[in-house]
Structure 1
Amino acid sequence: MQNSLAALEEPDVPKGLPIGPLPIDCDPDDTTPIRWVRMPNGAGCWAVSDYRLARQVLADPRFSRAAALAPDVARVASIDPSPDSIISLDGTAHARLRRIVAGAFTERRVTALRPVIEDRVRELLDELAAGDQPADLVAGLAAPLPLSVLCHMLGIPVTDQESFREWVPVLFDLDGAGPENRARAFRITHYMAKLIGQKRREPGDDLISALIQAADTEGRLTNRELVTLSLSLLMAGYDSTADQITLAFLGLLHDPARADALRADPGLVPAEVEELLQTNSSAPLSFSRAVTEPVRVADVTIRPGEPVLVFLLGANRGLRRSEGTPAGAHLAFGHGVHRCLGAPLARLQLATVIRLTLDRFPRLELAEDVDGLHWKPAAATRGLTRLHVRC
C-alpha cells in the first residue's frame, strides 16, 4: 500500500501516451508564453500558453468574449456558441444569466445527483460486462453517462431520451449545412421550447423548472432565452465530460500501477481526478476572445480585432513546473467570470465512474495499441471515437 501511495505523490504525464490531434499548432510542453498561430481554417490568432498569463487573460475584462464575435474579428473555431449564449456574453448581460444559472447549480442539487449517477454507472457497467469483448468504453460508458445525467437534470422525460440522444450531436457539428442537420437542429430547438412551456405550466424538481423559477425571480427570461440557455448548458456539459471520462481511462489503463493504487485506496480518487484534469484535459483551448483596447501580454501588444486563445492544455502542463500552486489550480474548467459552473458535476461524474469501474473490473485493460487509437478530429474537445477494453 505504501508503494501505491508513493506512486501517486509525484504524478506525471504517462510516458508514451499520445495527445491526439489538436486544433492548434502548439506543443503542450513548449514553454513559449505567447505566439501567433494559424488555425485549421486558416485564421490567425494569438495563443497564450503560459499558466500565469493564461489566468490573467481569462480574468481580464478587456479580453472580451462578445468582442470576439464582432464582424471584423476572424472566426478561429468551427464551433462557436451563438452571440446570445451565456458563453458569448460579457458584463451585466452575462452576470444576469450567470446569476440565474448559479441559482440552479446549488451544492444541494449536485449532491442530490450522486445516487442517480451511481445507479446509471452500475447499469452501464452491467451492460459492458454482459456484452461482447472487447467492449467499447466510449459507446458503452463515457458517452451515455453524461447525456443520461444531463437529461435527468434538465427534466427530459425518460420516454423522450432516445430521440433526444439522436438530436444532440447536431449541437457539436454546427458547420454541417445539410438538410438532415438543419432538420435535427429544428427538432431539438422545437422540443426544448415545447418542454419549457410544459415546465412553466407544471414545474418539477429539475433544472429547467429551477431556471424558470429563478428567471421569474431575478428578471424574466423569454422562452427563446431559456431555450438558448438550456442548450448552452447541454453543450457545455456533454461532449467535454464524455471525452474527459475517455481520456481518464486511457491514462489510467496506460499506467496500470495508478489504477491499482486507486483500487487499493478509493480515497485517492478525487486527487487523481484533479491530476487527470490537469495533465490530460479534454478541453485544449478556451473560447476565443478579443481585446477592447491594446493590451501588452509578455513582449507582445495585442490589438483590437486580433483573436486571442488560451492554450489550456499547454498552460496546465506548465503548471506542473510551477512552485507553490495549490491542488485543483488547473484551468481545465477555465478561470474568471466564464469559469464552468458545471465543474462540481463533472468532477462528481469522473470520480464516480472511475471508482465504480475500477472496483467492478479488477482486470480492466486496454485492448488496442495506443499508437493506433481512433481520435476525434481536432475540435472544441479532445477525445476518442472509440476505446476498446477487456473487462
Structure 2
Amino acid sequence: MTSTENEPVAYPFSVPVALDLDPRYAELRERPGLQRVKMTYGQPAWLAVRYEDVKVVLGDRRFSRAQAVGDDEPRVLPFVQRPDSIFTTDAPDHTRLRRAVGRAFTARRVEALRGAVESVVAEHLDALEKAGPPAELVHGFSLPVSMRVICDLLGVPFEQQKRFRGYADTILVNSPDVGIDPQQIVKAQLDLRAFLGELVDQRRAEPADDLLGVLVAGMREDGGLTEDEIIGLGVDVLVAGHETTANFLSNFVYLLLTTGTYTTLRDQPDLLPEAVEELLRITPLNPNAFMARVATEDVELGGQLVRAGEAVLPSMASGNRDVTVFENPEKIEFVERPPHLAFGHGAHHCLGAQLGRMELQIGISALITRFPDLALAVPAEDVQWRTTMLVRGPWGLPVTW
C-alpha cells in the first residue's frame, strides 16, 4: 500500500485536443496507487484512472456522492451544485428520485418513442439533402434532433425549445474564457427552473402523458415528489439527456469519418449495435473526471489507502481505455467487448442509457443509409472543439457527400 502523502498536481492536466485523452492518463494506469490532484476550487482529490478502480468508486456505497457536494468538492467553477439533484444524492433520497423519473424510461415508453425519433431524424436529413452539400451537421442535425426528442419526452412545447436550448448552452459552460461568468450560469439555472415551474403548473391544470405530466400526477401518491424536486429532475434530464446524445452523435460521425470506419459500417450495417457500443467506449464525452465521491471510511483502492473524508474523482474515459480490460483499447474495433463505463456504473448509472442508445443507432444508421459517401468538408484539424464546455464535442462539423 502506497502512502497518502502525495503532493497534488494541477488538474485538469491540459486543454483537450479534439477527442484525445491527455497521455498522462495512460502513464497513470501503468503506475500503482492513485494520483493526488488539485482543481481550481475545493479540496485535493485522488484521481482514479483504471477500469476496476473507477467501477469501485462509482458502485461501492463506501463512496458517497452526497458527501462530496459543497464548498470542498473538487471542481472547476466557484459555485457548488444543488444538494437535492439526482446527480448529487445517495440512497434513500437518490433511490426515490430515480424510481420516480424511471417511470418515463421504462422499456415500453422508450420503445414507444422509436417512431417519433425516426421521424425527427428523417425530417432533418430531408432538410440537409434538399439544401445540398456542404452541410453543417452539429446545428443542422445532432443538436436539433436531440433537443426535439428530449423536449417531447419532457413535454416542452415546440415553440419554446429554442429558449430551452439557450438555458442549456449557458449552464454547461465550464470556463469564464468564453465571456460567460458564473453569475450568468446561475441566472440561467434559475430561469430554467422558473420555466419548468410554469410547465408543472400547466400539467396540474391539463394532465399529460409526458415526463412532467407523469411526475405531477404522482405528487399526491405516497413517496411522490415535491414540485421543487420535479423541476430539478426536469433540469437534470435536459442537461444530461440532450447535451450528451447530441455530442455523442457529432463525435461519432467525426470518428467514423476520420478513422475510415464510416465505410466499414456502411458496407456492414449489421455491425451497428457493436459500433455504437465501441464508439461510446472510446469517445471521452467529458474532457476530465468530475462528480467526485467522498470515502465514508478508510478504503484501499488500487493499492492506495483512501482515508475517510477524502475525495476521489473517477475518470470513466480513462477506465474505458484500460488495456487490462480492453484489447487494443486505442483502436476502434466493431467487436464484442466487456461493458464500458460511458453511461456510468452503480446507483448513478444513466437512466436514459436505453433511450440514448436508440437515438444513436437510429441517427447513425439513417446517416449512413442516406449519405453513403459522407465526408468531412474541411481538414480534420480545422474542426473547432467545445473545450470550454462540460460536454466535449465540435462547435460545427462541416460535411459533404
Q: Same fold (TM over 0.5)?
A: yes
Q: 2:191 aligns with which of 187, 193, 199?
A: 187
Unaligned segments of structure 1, at least 5 residues? 1-17
1:344 is aligned, of 345, 354, 374, to 354
- Identify the residue that residue 5 of structure 1 maps to in structure 2: none
Structure 2 residue identity aligned to 1:348: M
Instruction: Give the letter aligned to residue 255 of structure 2.
Output: G
Alignment-mate amino acid for residue 197 of structure 1: D
Are 1:367 and 2:365 an aligned pair? no
Whichever residue aligns with residue 39 of structure 2, its letter is M
Per-residue CA distance 1:45-74 (angstroms, 9 max, x = gap): 211111112111111111111111144x24
Match of 1:161 in 2: 161
- Letter of the 2:75 partner, please give it: V
Of structures 1 and 2, the one with the larger relative CO (CA 8 A, separation 6+) is: 1
Cα deviation, 1:285-318, whole Å, max 9, x if unaligned, reads 3521111122111221112443211111110011
Q: Map 1:1-391; keep pairs closer than 5 Å.
A: 19-20=18-19, 26-28=24-26, 31-32=29-30, 34-39=34-39, 44-71=44-71, 73-78=72-77, 81-131=81-131, 133-173=133-173, 176-177=180-181, 181=185, 184-256=188-260, 258-284=261-287, 285-318=289-322, 319-321=325-327, 327=337, 329-377=339-387, 379-391=389-401
The whole-number CA distance in structure 1 between the counterparts of 2:187 and 2:68 is: 29
Q: One-letter code of the match for 1:336?
A: G
Sequence identity, in percent? Answer: 34
Q: Secondary structure at the match of 2:291?
A: coil
For 1:250 and 1:134, the matched residues in 2 are separated by 15
Helix, strand or coil for the counterpart of 1:337? helix
Residues 54 and 322 of structure 1, relative CA distance in 2, 3 Å threshold: farther
Q: How far apart, in 1, do the equivalents of 2:48 and 2:187 lie?
A: 38
Tell me: CA distance 1:50–1:137, structure 2 relative to 1, closer, same or farther (3 Å): same
In the aligned structure 2, how far is the partner of 1:94 from the partner of 1:233? 15
| Offset of residue 222 of structure 1 | 1.7
**Contact preservation (8 Å) 1:68, 1:307:** yes
Counterparts of 2:138 and 2:26, CA distance in 1:
25
Q: 1:237 to 1:268 in 2, by over 3 A?
A: same
In structure 2, how many angstroms separate the alpha carbons of the residues matched to 1:229 and 1:119?
27
Contact 2:171/2:185 (8 A) holds in 1: no
Task: Give CA deviations for 1:199-258 in whole Å, capped at 9, x if unaligned.
Answer: 1221112111112234433413221111011111111112111111111001111133x2
Identify which range, 190-199 or 374-383, moves more after superposition: 374-383
* Inter-partner Cα distance in structure 2 for 1:373 and 1:161: 27
Q: Equivalent residue for 1:15?
A: none
Q: Indicate if the aligned counterparts of 2:283 and 2:317 stay in contact, CA closer than 8 A.
A: yes
| Cα pair 1:25 1:38 within 8 Å, conserved | no
- Between the aligned partners of 1:129 and 1:349, the Cα distance in structure 2 is 20
Change (3 A) 1:215 1:339: farther
Amino acid at match of 1:383: G
Task: Tell me the CA shift for residue 262 of structure 1.
Answer: 2.1
Paired residue secondary structure (2:305) = strand
Cα distance in 2 for residues equivalent to 1:245 and 1:149: 13
For the residues of structure 2 that align with 1:103 and 1:295, how far apart are their CA atoms?
35
1:11 is matched with none
d(CA) in 2 for partners of 1:370, 1:322: 23
Q: Aligned equivalents of 1:80 and 1:321: distance in 2? A: 39
After superposition, the Cα gap between the structure-2 partners of 1:132 and 1:38, relative to the gap in structure 1 and judged at 3 Å, is farther
> Could you state the TM-score of these two structures normalised by the residue count of structure 1?
0.86
Cα 1:179–1:326, aligned 2, differ >3 Å: closer, same or farther? closer
Change (3 A) 1:80 1:356: farther
Q: Distance in 2 between matches of 1:60 and 1:169?
A: 33
Change (3 A) 1:332 1:179: closer
Using the TM superposition, give the Cα deviation of residue 342 of structure 1 relative to its aligned residue in structure 2, in angstroms.
0.3
What CA distance in whole angstroms lies between the structure 2 residues aligned with 1:355 and 1:80? 40
Answer yes or no: is the 8 Å Cα contact 1:110–1:345 preserved in 2. yes
Instruction: Give, in whole Å, the separation in 1 of the partners of 2:200 and 2:121.
Output: 28
* One-letter amino acid matched to 1:136: E
Q: CA RMSD in A?
A: 2.7
Contact 2:19–2:283 (Cα < 8 Å) also in 1: no
The 1-side partners of 2:186 and 2:391 are apart by 23
Name the CA distance, whole Å, in 2 between partners of 1:153 and 1:20.
29
The 2-side partners of 1:173 and 1:382 are apart by 11
Unmatched runs of 5 consecutive residues or more in structure 2: 1-16, 330-334
Contact residue 54 and residue 310 of structure 1 kept, 8 A: yes
Q: How many residue pairs end up in the alignment?
A: 371
Q: Distance in 2 between matches of 1:88 and 1:28?
A: 29
